[in-house]
Amino acid sequence: MKKLLIVESPAKIKTISKFLGKDFKIMSTVGHIMDLPSKSLGVTINGEITLEYVPLENKEKVIAEICKAASTSDEIYLAPDPDREGEIIAWHISQEIAKVLKNKSHMHRITFNEITEPAIKEAIAHKSIIDMNKVNAQQARRVLDRWVGYEVSPVLWQKIKKGLSAGRVQSVALRLVCEREDAIRAFKPEEYWSITGNFGFEKSAFEAALTHIGKEKLDVSSKEQADKIVADLKTKEYSVTEVTDKQRAKNPAAPFMTSTLQQTAFNHIGFPVKKTMMIAQQLYEGLPLQDKDTPVALITYMRTDSLRLSQTAIDQARGYISKHFNKDYLPPKAPVYAKGSKGAQDAHEAIRPIDVNITPEIAARYLPKDAARLYELIWQRFVACQMKPALYAQRQVVLQGGDYIFKVTGSTLLFDGYLKVYNTVEDQEKDQKVIIPTGIQAKSPLNLKKVDPKQHFTQPPPHYTEASLVKELEKEGIGRPSTYANILGTILNRSYVTLDTKKRFTPTELGMAVTGMLVKNLPKIMNVKFTALMEEDLDKIAGGELDRDTLLREFYEAFQKDLEAFAGSKKGERKKNAEPTDITCPDCGKHKLIIRFGKAGAFLGCPGYPECTFTSNFERDEEGNIKLVTTEGPKMLDETCPQCGKQLRELRGKFGMFKACSGYPECKYIPQIKAAFKCPGCKKGDFVQRKYRGGTMWGCSRYPDCKFAVFSDIEEKPCPKCKLPFLLKKVNKDGKVTLLCSDKNCGYKE
């Protein structure tokens, strides 16, 4: 009997194939196979809402091969990922298979949360059908995003500059970043002082903070106040008024769900959100351990908003703890964790290791370094969550001299509990020890040895990091675990935000301008609460509680009214908007400069153009005030032009810095970087480097007679397979270099 099992990712094929017999053929859709068309809206509203789907680029061959295999199979199992995106992939491929399959009852939907033999065989034994509620929810999200993206973006082109785009969820995330920037700029620091006393007790000493003067909390806002208090403190006699001893239990953190894994991986091991998800995907799909040819799935499904653990997982963790730690570390009952993030569906388990006996030490022997580090984090958190709390002895000492009251709290670790396994840097910082002398008790006399006043200033709210932005999105109910990485990547790729050296988000001038315009003109779709409610409605569609088209019609009706008002119909309303400044044009003195956006970014210009052509770069100070920046003129170089003998100079062009002859326009010489080989196209001209808006390209010097060109950087290294004299050089964001042949028929890659 021939059986076909279709998965979403080709990386799963090898892992799953070792569990199933020769009757099974396993194939992959390699992600999505269909989508709305790229050059048209693809959504029609008549009596009902219809969606036009077309095959994605290069997916016709994949579809044809799967359909061919399906036509000769007795049973077909659709096994893409167990989420809405996986459900739509299963539905799309089922629609194609249905065209060649005689008996459609032989086609089944199966899902599994982990890639293990029991889970796969359990799924096959309990086959189901495609969940059309999930399909409808994914379609609703896709249509909402398509409407906002396709219909708002052209208006931004008219109002600000060409090439801009808007997104239903991404634009709201950008709003959070921009509002935080506004708060930072508007922040006015306030001075305050803390006062610490160093007290002697017998042969020991300890520090305590001044907290109250009489019944009033300490509130010191100037050096004069602080100096007066310090002088008075030195005249008092001190003794202990109260010693309070108690025990404090510190509970372990819950197992990971997607958002907490992203946040902890960023804070603890410095992984960007995208990298965390990429590595987690590999751990889920399987990586080789002892046997290099046999991948092993190491964690459960990594897109989840649940904190639930299966009984099998709990039993496995408790068994491991019993075996490797003494009985004091195992609680009488397994801890149960509350529901996860806002709007959590609880469809899958929390993220956990599949086999707790594959310890981080074992994994580190075989896995790539980063995969081993992420696995260690997941393993430790899972085991720790089933251990007893850590226990501290806590002592608070209150001491007084006159009206001045000081307090100090110290804690001692009595039992490490879960900290035996999982103790992050953040935990260690919170648990910094304060040593209080033994033997101290109420009425013990103290000797004030030193007073230390310190000046402080209140701090503005911090810029978002990837971790804190994910936390805020989760808190507000914006997006879902599977979308956080894409949201962050999108606002970065659109140049709406930048990451500084400390990996904190700062909005660009363009991001601020786009956000300001959208908030003003499309307040509903930019409203945080509205976006969160929309997520809840999508969840209701997935649960069968709400009709897809009802939601879409209600949204589109209100959206169209706002959009028409935003776009404007009169000619005057279609002029590009520009943010005014309070800086008078230094050339004409008649107008206030305005912020405009060009190919190179934001700049200041005079609205009196074309009569006044003044432009200037600018920067903002910490409070957001604009300052003109003088652009450096051409820099003369100690190099001469080989054509006319004049000095070369370095200038800034629209594609960056370049060298040229100072005798321009009489001499138009520009030095070019040449390859060591002739043009592979015509074999006559030089192969030279050129810059263009998208980056670097290489082409023939005989252009337009020879139009051979590659739009990439190159490595002057012959292709080992086809002997072409160069390889294309691609560098990703993590600095990883890939070399590949430019001849698609060759296909060489390293």
> For the chain, what are the domain ranges?
3-130, 139-187+462-572, 191-251+390-457, 258-384, 578-629, 675-750
In this structure, how many other beta carbons lie within 10 angstroms of the beta carbon of residue 476? 17
The per-residue pLDDT for range 536-565, each reduced to its tens digit, is 999 999 999 999 999 999 999 999 999 999
Please, which residues have CB within 8 angstroms of residue 664's CB and are 6 or more apart in sequence? Answer: none
User: Are 658 and 650 spatial neighbours (Cβ–Cβ below 8 Å)?
Assistant: yes
pLDDT above 70 for 3:
yes
Find where tokens 């991404």 sit. 170
Would you state the CATH architecture of domain 191-251+390-457?
Distorted Sandwich (2.70)
Residue 237's identity, in one-letter code, is: E
Can you list the alpha helix ranges (DSSP code H) found in 441-508?
466-476, 484-493
Cα angle for residues 110, 111, 116 (degrees, 5° grid): 110
Cα angle for residues 648, 649, 654 (degrees, 5° grid): 130
The per-residue pLDDT for range 12-41, each reduced to its tens digit, is 999 999 999 899 999 999 999 999 998 899
Residue 77 falls in the annotated catalytic set: no
What percent of the chain is modeled with pLDDT above 90? 71
Q: CATH topology for 139-187+462-572?
A: Topoisomerase I; domain 2 (1.10.460)
508 closest CA partner among 527, 523, 487, 493: 493
pLDDT above 50 for 737:
yes
* Answer CATH for 3-130 from 3.30.300.30, 3.40.50.11890, 3.40.50.140, 3.40.50.10420: 3.40.50.140
Compute the Cα dihedral for 145, 151, 155, 160 and give only its sign. Answer: positive
Look at strands 709-710 and 24-28 and give their pairing. Answer: unpaired
Compute the Cα dihedral for 24, 27, 28, 33 and give only its sign. Answer: negative
User: Are 578 and 595 spatial neighbours (Cβ–Cβ below 8 Å)?
Assistant: yes
pLDDT above 60 for 712:
yes
145 closest CA partner among 464, 559, 465, 506: 559
The per-residue pLDDT for range 115-130, each reduced to its tens digit, is 999 999 999 999 999 9
The H or E element spanning position 623 is: none
pLDDT of residue 85: 93
Q: CA 535, CA 537: separation in Å to the nearest integer? A: 5
Compute the Cα dihedral for 473, 479, 480, 484 and give only its sign. Answer: negative
Q: CA 453, CA 437: separation in Å to the nearest integer? A: 23
pLDDT of residue 466: 96
Assess whether the region 3-130 and the region 258-384 belong to the same CATH fold.
no
pLDDT above 60 for 569:
no
Catalytic residue among 77, 238, 284, 301: 301
pLDDT of residue 480: 85
Q: Is 586 exposed, middle or buried (0-12, 13-18, 19+ CB in 10 A)?
A: exposed
Q: CA 425, CA 391: separation in Å to the nearest integer? A: 18
Cis amide prior to 368 (ω within 30 degrees)? no
The per-residue pLDDT for range 282-312, each reduced to its tens digit, is 999 999 999 988 899 999 999 998 899 999 9
Please, which residues have CB within 8 angstroms of residue 745's CB and are 6 or more apart in sequence? Answer: none
Please, which residues have CB within 8 angstroms of residue 721's CB and are 6 or more apart in sequence? Answer: 741, 746, 747, 748
309 closest CA partner among 327, 280, 335: 335
In 32-140, where do the E strands start and end?
34-35, 43-45, 49-51, 54-55, 75-78, 107-109
Q: CA 738, CA 89: separation in Å to the nearest integer? A: 29
pLDDT of residue 601: 83
Look at strands 295-296 and 505-507 and give their pairing. Answer: unpaired
- SS (HEC) of 353-412: ECCCCCCHHHHHHHCCHHHHHHHHHHHHHHHHCCCCCEEEEEEEEEEEECCEEEEEEEEE
In CATH, 258-384 is 1.10.290.10: yes
How far apart, in Å, are the Cα atoms of 435 and each of 207, 397, 411, 666? 9, 11, 8, 80
Look at strands 404-415 and 287-288 and give their pairing. Answer: unpaired
The per-residue pLDDT for range 227-274, each reduced to its tens digit, is 999 999 999 999 999 999 999 999 999 999 999 999 999 999 999 999
Can you list the alpha helix ranges (DSSP code H) found in 522-581?
528-542, 548-567
Residue 13's identity, in one-letter code, is: I
Determine the number of helices (DSSP H) and then strands (DSSP E) in the chain: 18, 34
User: Are 354 and 116 spatial neighbours (Cβ–Cβ below 8 Å)?
Assistant: yes
The two structure tokens encoding residue 459: 């701090």
Average pLDDT over residues 681-702: 85
pLDDT above 70 for 626:
yes
The per-residue pLDDT for range 196-231, each reduced to its tens digit, is 999 999 999 999 999 999 999 999 999 999 999 999
User: Are 670 and 648 spatial neighbours (Cβ–Cβ below 8 Å)?
Assistant: no
Average pLDDT over residues 181-195: 96
Q: CA 108, CA 725: separation in Å to the nearest integer? A: 50
Q: Provide the CA 298 distance to its chain's centre, in angstroms.
A: 23
pTM, two decimal places: 0.80
Residue 376's identity, in one-letter code, is: E
Average pLDDT over residues 385-390: 96
Q: CA 375, CA 283: separation in Å to the nearest integer? A: 8
Please, which residues have CB within 8 angstroms of residue 372's CB and are 6 or more apart in sequence? Answer: 360, 363, 364
Query: Residue 37 in 3-state DSSP?
Result: coil
Give rounded-to-5 percent helix, strand, coil for the chain.
35, 25, 40
> Can you name the residues that pair with 412 across neighbouring β-strands?
393
pLDDT above 70 for 629:
yes
Average pLDDT over residues 583-602: 89
Mean pLDDT over each residue of the chain, to the nearest integer:
91
pLDDT above 80 for 156:
yes
Q: What is the dihedral of CA 109, 113, 115, 121, to 10 degrees?
A: -50
pLDDT of residue 534: 94
pLDDT level of residue 674 (50, 70, 90 thresholds):
confident
pLDDT of residue 342: 55
Complete DSSP assignment for 451-469: EEEEEEE--PPPPPBHHHH
Look at strands 686-692 and 695-700 and give their pairing. Answer: antiparallel
Please, which residues have CB within 8 angstroms of residue 547's CB and are 6 or more apart in sequence? Answer: 541
pLDDT above 80 for 102:
yes
What percent of the chain is modeled with pLDDT above 70? 95
Q: CA 423, CA 562: separation in Å to the nearest integer? A: 51
The two structure tokens encoding residue 472: 């805020």
Cis amide prior to 704 (ω within 30 degrees)? yes
Find where tokens 């001045």 sit. 404
In this structure, how many other beta carbons lie within 10 angstroms of the beta carbon of residue 283? 24
Residue 589's identity, in one-letter code, is: G
pLDDT of residue 148: 94
Average pLDDT over residues 604-612: 90
